[in-house]
Structure 1
């Protein structure tokens, strides 16, 4: 039974996620649409429960009247069918309705509805550009995905369940009381108007505070996660105290919104209670007055007072539900600001897959400035022949890494185009583009998974034999065999920690190189691929790297110029322009920038010039 309800909704829709709409209700509908039939059914059941509960109070009034006037000898004969019907409603009808409602809410909707949103949001966010992630805390992004998906569920389900139940309950209550004695409806209507005014006043204020609170919570979480993610830097500079203060500022901002929210809640609660007390007193006083005049039955008094006491408790429940509802609405609004951002880099409609038969790369009069004034790259043209191995040389900020990022289409060009075998990289599917390019970067980041998963990430489904062969070629198999983690997993099964923190820089680099060996793409980009390796290890895998380059088009970036001496051609960049082209011997014997850099080398690295210490991120 449980499993049947749990499988009514598919928590992982297969449709490619598109940009959600910006309005609150369209946004909620976007992520709730797959569950619409079950949400409607939930509302119908809630209305049925509300009608049944009000009818019970009417029956209570009838019983009081019957017991006041009925003959004990004929009571069962006269009212037996009424009693049987109410007994069936109490013992069978309401329990079945409640059980069905609970199964519907707790098995079908509560687990699956947020997962539908979480799945679609995660898939959409994954397809954002690198620029998007450069401007956001990773912790803040993940927090918004998790919070917003839950908030969508709570907003939709609370709104439907509470709204339908309350409207059905109050509507049927007014009808039943009016049928019993219309005069007692007047204080109830006055109570309802005052309660509506209180909701009208407090709800917008609670909503604004809730939106601020959701943003403050995301900021607080982002700051905490940022400290954990960069714990090595925190320890290196002995800044635990500074990080405490940094996090405390975020926590203070969040706590301030909580204080302001709770003040409003307390004010709301006090006024609601006073309104309830006045309503109960007024109805009781009127009922007693009418009874003394012998114009109302005892059953009508019992019915009305019972309903008034019930709605007094219900109004407190509504208050907390509304508070939670608008806290969730605030979270949804906060999440919408991120989730509705359009993808900066999208495939053209029906983009074909890239096919690489030769591997020719052409930079055709390209310009790119990262949105700034002044050039990073301006009017650059370069043709790399199929199978050619080209080294890019230049001081930091010259544009080397930018050329790699543009080839991978992490950014779109401002003008010009880049082609691979005549195919414009902006016109082919991005996944197919990157599938055909193997990359080893200077800043190697591993997934917090097993060694096997990290190496096989470039070729899912690769056998252990293929993974081990790639690890051996990258000179990594020896240290892999000696690895173990805190759960006792060893070798290929050992987990590497977040971003590979359990491994040394050189070990991480060798895993990354093994990953590219296994991928065996026709185009290879090496961005400081051996920078984290010591000279002995570098020498050990240099031969394997050259083996990997065979038959491939290669672009290599390195400050260690000795690693580029075997390239077919070196291209020297300066301020985004090509200033020299030639072999190592030709350029080293000349009088240009490369010859100057070569002479300045100390220990195989660029040195002796303050300009060389610029941040490579500026590229």
Structure 2
């Protein structure tokens, strides 16, 4: 059974990509309905166990009375032997069997698999969010939401079944048993149950609210710490470890304060229930003894009812603790749902076809864009832009910082949807094709190269996963990366192409990361190529060697290149000059110099040593 049960849920089998619903109840139902038979089975088994455990108190009362009334032990066993046999079967056979089924399903299937089912589907949904979604949050915080939400959702449902449902069945059965002894034994327990329910009703929601705040504070703290680790080079470079201490300390103080508020409510509830339990024990005990003294109830009934009440009191502390945990977990699920159940900003149309690139023509038609969808005082980032790039044409984008160069590239990659107009590749509107196919047709080398914390082989092969080792090594040689790759060794002793590069490639120099990124794009061999400061991290010798390979790579491809060093793109077929999201100049290097516009000004500054001239003409310091 233990070998078969784990296969009841395959957490990664589902290809569901729909957005989880926003509402808390709907969010729970979205995941629970996928495995409802297992949770139903768990609820049934635990409910029957509660009935058996409650019935044992009735049996104890009957046996005590039987022992008192029997003339001899033999007479007692003769009259009650069947009941003793039934108890033995229930406790030695039925209870272990039910508990075994319950534990097998819950511990072997629900605990490991359902938790990861929630994580898997949440991760797949979040992975398809837009770039702006990730740029507006901590990566550590978002990963914490995915991991914690799956765990908290499973815990809260499991606790609800194992504790609340079990206790509910037990307490209802207990009330029925007391009524069977004498209805006058019921009032103290009924009054206590009402008071207990009111206490939970009032305090648990407050715990839930504070638990949600504590969960958010915990996620923020995780995000702050991960942010420091992710940018450790910047921290070290500026000597700001003490500043990062303060940054983390603030997060920890916020988390401690939020946790304190949760535990204060828990302490208040525990103290209140302790007082209520004392009242129940004394009240019921006094009533049972009084009724016994009047001869209204038997010794067995009084003893069994008192034992039952003591069992209820013992459970109350457990239920209070579990209710607090449920509230905390529900709060964490609500907090996680706020981050997970977010609609995708950039989506594929239903039935969208893949992009088919036959020539590589790119057209921007009346394109306008602003990041917040509303124009600022300075106007949109891109405004009324028209640009056609012919198949195989090499175009350089030039402009001051903030001119819209990178935004234009991001729109072509459909990291954002345009606010107006459209972008076409070989006549196909990119908003109507599959995003994955669009980006598969475009190779890009960026200035800030980020590598996956995997092997060099995996990082280069990311450009074409089906490539064999020989093809990967050839791409590395063309990018002048093979020589340093073969000398790599990571702390685990993996060498060469099997060596891992660290998070974001931190174990490599900027130039080494750039060469691996270039090798990755060389291997991808996409029909459209984007170079965004592709050689900025390389020294002059390596840059000169790689430039030759890049020119070979550009052969037959449509190319868009961005570079602040104008000398690296001056040989492009055409240069497009952007200013405040508009095209203000176009032409070859020579033509633009003759126009004497923005490009000529930028070229003059870079080629004539404007920094030295500015220093010479700067006013003297009279201070």
Q: TM-score range by the shorter chain?
A: over 0.9
Determine the structure 2 residue equivalent to 1:469. Answer: 474
2:37 maps to 1:37 = yes
1:608 and 1:469 mapped to 2: Cα distance?
46
Classify 1:609/1:486 alpha carbon distance in 2 versus 1 (closer, same or farther; 3 Å): farther
1:14 and 1:175 mapped to 2: Cα distance?
45
Q: CA deviation at 1:8?
A: 0.6
Determine the structure 2 residue equivalent to 1:140. Answer: 141
Q: CA deviation at 1:208?
A: 1.2
Post-superposition Cα deviations, 1:260-302, rounded to whole Å, max 9, x if no partner, equal: 1111111111111111111111111111112222221111012
Post-superposition Cα deviations, 1:182-239, rounded to whole Å, max 9, x if no partner, equal: 1111111111111112112211211111111111111111111111111111111111
Q: Which moved more, 1:17-26 or 1:153-162?
A: 153-162
1:602 and 1:81 mapped to 2: Cα distance?
105
Classify 1:161/1:231 alpha carbon distance in 2 versus 1 (closer, same or farther; 3 Å): same
Residues 455 and 511, structure 1, Cα contact 8 Å, conserved in 2: yes
Determine the structure 2 residue equivalent to 1:593. Answer: 598
2:247 and 2:448 mapped to 1: Cα distance?
26
Determine the structure 2 residue equivalent to 1:53. Answer: 53
Determine the structure 2 residue equivalent to 1:561. Answer: 566
SS for the counterpart of 2:416 is coil
Gaps of 5+ in 2: 616-623
Q: CA deviation at 1:181?
A: 1.7
2:43 and 2:611 mapped to 1: Cα distance?
70
Determine the structure 2 residue equivalent to 1:479. Answer: 484
SS for the counterpart of 2:534 is coil
Q: Identify which of 437, 448, 453 aligns with 2:453.
A: 448
Q: CA deviation at 1:77?
A: 2.2
Q: Which moved more, 1:585-594 or 1:424-433?
A: 585-594
Post-superposition Cα deviations, 1:311-358, rounded to whole Å, max 9, x if no partner, equal: 111000000000000001110111121112111000112111000000
1:487 and 1:461 mapped to 2: Cα distance?
26
Classify 1:484/1:273 alpha carbon distance in 2 versus 1 (closer, same or farther; 3 Å): same
Gaps of 5+ in 1: 611-619
- Equivalent residue runs for 1:86-485 within 5 Å: 86-371=87-372, 372-373=375-376, 374-485=379-490
Determine the structure 2 residue equivalent to 1:613. Answer: none
Q: CA deviation at 1:599?
A: 1.7
Post-superposition Cα deviations, 1:78-116, rounded to whole Å, max 9, x if no partner, equal: 222111111111111111111111111101111111101
Post-superposition Cα deviations, 1:420-465, rounded to whole Å, max 9, x if no partner, equal: 0000011111000000000001110000000000000111121000
Determine the structure 2 residue equivalent to 1:68. Answer: 68
Post-superposition Cα deviations, 1:573-597, rounded to whole Å, max 9, x if no partner, equal: 1222212211222223441222222
Residues 13 and 120, structure 1, Cα contact 8 Å, conserved in 2: no
- Equivalent residue runs for 1:488-499 within 5 Å: 488-499=493-504
1:74 and 1:197 mapped to 2: Cα distance?
49
1:365 and 1:16 mapped to 2: Cα distance?
36
Aligned length: 610
2:247 and 2:259 mapped to 1: Cα distance?
19
1:321 and 1:564 mapped to 2: Cα distance?
66
Determine the structure 2 residue equivalent to 1:20. Answer: 20
Determine the structure 1 residue equivalent to 2:2. Answer: 2
Q: CA deviation at 1:164?
A: 2.0
1:289 and 1:43 mapped to 2: Cα distance?
39
- Equivalent residue runs for 1:562-577 within 5 Å: 562-577=567-582
SS for the counterpart of 2:55 is helix
Q: CA deviation at 1:608?
A: 7.7
Q: Identify which of 515, 519, 522 aligns with 2:527.
A: 522
Q: CA deviation at 1:603?
A: 9.1
1:44 and 1:73 mapped to 2: Cα distance?
39
2:270 and 2:528 mapped to 1: Cα distance?
67
SS for the counterpart of 1:111 is helix
1:409 and 1:608 mapped to 2: Cα distance?
42
Residues 63 and 299, structure 1, Cα contact 8 Å, conserved in 2: yes
Determine the structure 2 residue equivalent to 1:11. Answer: 11
Residues 479 and 546, structure 2, Cα contact 8 Å, conserved in 1: yes
Q: Normalised by the size of structure 2, how large is the TM-score?
A: 0.96
Classify 1:565/1:272 alpha carbon distance in 2 versus 1 (closer, same or farther; 3 Å): same
Residues 352 and 427, structure 1, Cα contact 8 Å, conserved in 2: yes
Residues 164 and 319, structure 2, Cα contact 8 Å, conserved in 1: no
Classify 1:573/1:454 alpha carbon distance in 2 versus 1 (closer, same or farther; 3 Å): same
Classify 1:232/1:309 alpha carbon distance in 2 versus 1 (closer, same or farther; 3 Å): same
Residues 2 and 108, structure 2, Cα contact 8 Å, conserved in 1: yes
1:304 and 1:609 mapped to 2: Cα distance?
95
Q: Which moved more, 1:105-114 or 1:595-604?
A: 595-604
Q: CA deviation at 1:566?
A: 2.3
Determine the structure 2 residue equivalent to 1:582. Answer: 587
Classify 1:107/1:190 alpha carbon distance in 2 versus 1 (closer, same or farther; 3 Å): same
Classify 1:603/1:67 alpha carbon distance in 2 versus 1 (closer, same or farther; 3 Å): farther
SS for the counterpart of 2:68 is helix
Residues 63 and 80, structure 2, Cα contact 8 Å, conserved in 1: no
